[in-house]
Amino acid sequence: MTCSLSYIGRFAPSPSGPLHFGSLVTAVGSYLQAKSNDGKWLLRIEDIDPPREVVGASDAIFRCLDAHALHWDGQPSYQSQHSERYEARIQQLVEADLAYVCQCTRASLTKLGSGDCPCLKNKMPLVEGAIRFRHNQPIQTFEDRLLRRVTIPPEELTTQFAIRRRDGLFAYQLAVVTDDIEQGITEVARGADLLSATVFQLALYQAFKHTPPSFLHFPLVMNTSGLKLSKQNHAPAIVLSQASNNLTHALRFLGLRVPDNLLGALPEVILEWAVVNWNLDDVVAKTEQIDNRIEGPDRI
């Protein structure tokens, strides 16, 4: 179902654990982008990786968003229910000779560096191994709404990326582009940990001959050791009883000057104020936390 609204954004958490402060910042930022543009904010649960899934995580995510008055539009969608559309997109790439079967291990590909994968020339049945995108003209730069021109360093560009993994699961890049197209997403607003994923996703948009959405990557929240907050680093789960406080912190992290008279107000009231006062220029002030991939101080 493709919608024709002028702005459609989304929040797309993986249910691999409860939301932490970094994911709350992304949720708040993408919500404000959508709502300040009179748009829709969709929720997509990215549950295509069962081994990484934590039982109950989706429900915990719903509860957390609700507690912070981050109400999504429509029903949440689940990637686990979209296998047919992913399969169809893989077929489309295979038919265009833009996909091939690869039996290399991660270690052998790393050893290969930027060299050509030996499987590129092979004609193997599509059932045996990973399916990789034939990346004829890798994209290295893109324009970000917040960070302006972003250039991904060559060492972060794997030349041939998977669209179906060796274990048969659909790969993240394929699933996210397929769904963003299907849902008519006009802007992807997410954390800067996905900066390098963007160039692979742009290559898929090109292959599908589909205009890409605009991209906007929020600065990452770091822990005291300078590592980004993540489930892998055991970032603490958001405490729901502190919702107003959490929101205020998230907004301040995003550069908004929350007035003192809003401290402790209901989450709805804080968010209503934030929608009116949301300004990407305030977020720009935070971008120096993101490393030297950014070539200029101004946003586009």
The residue ranges that bind ligand GLU (CB under 6 A) are: 12-14, 46, 176, 190, 194
Q: How far is the CB of 235 from ligand GLU (least distance, A)?
A: 13
Using the minimum distance from each CB to ligand GLU, give the nearer residue, 89 or 129. 89
d(CA 295, CA 300): 12
Tokens coding 286: 């935070």
Q: How far is the CB of 15 from ligand GLU (least distance, A)?
A: 9
Tokens coding 92: 């489309």
Using the minimum distance from each CB to ligand GLU, give the nearer residue, 117 or 150. 150
- Closest of 21, 71, 18, 57 to residue 242, by C-alpha: 21
State the pairing for strand pair 77-78/99-102: unpaired
Instruction: Show Cβ contacts of residue 48 under 8 Å, excluding neighbours closer than 6 positions.
Output: 79, 80, 169, 170, 172, 175
Using the minimum distance from each CB to ligand GLU, give the nearer residue, 46 or 104. 46
Q: How far is the CB of 46 from ligand GLU (least distance, A)?
A: 4
Beta strands in 134-201 (DSSP E): 141-144, 148-151, 162-164, 187-191
Q: How many residues does the chain have?
A: 300
Q: How far is the CB of 23 from ligand GLU (least distance, A)?
A: 7
d(CA 295, CA 15): 34
Q: How far is the CB of 217 from ligand GLU (least distance, A)?
A: 10
Using the minimum distance from each CB to ligand GLU, give the nearer residue, 46 or 187. 46
Pair 182, 85: CB distance under 8 Å:
yes
Using the minimum distance from each CB to ligand GLU, give the nearer residue, 172 or 278. 172
Using the minimum distance from each CB to ligand GLU, give the nearer residue, 222 or 276. 222
Tokens coding 194: 């996905």
Helix (H) or strand (E) holding 215: strand 214-218
Q: How far is the CB of 282 from ligand GLU (least distance, A)?
A: 22
* Distance of alpha carbon 123 from the chain centroid: 33
Using the minimum distance from each CB to ligand GLU, give the nearer residue, 57 or 258. 57
Tokens coding 275: 């929608």
d(CA 181, CA 34): 17
Using the minimum distance from each CB to ligand GLU, give the nearer residue, 42 or 93. 42
Q: How far is the CB of 49 from ligand GLU (least distance, A)?
A: 9
Instruction: Show Cβ contacts of residue 110 under 8 Å, excluding neighbours closer than 6 positions.
Output: none
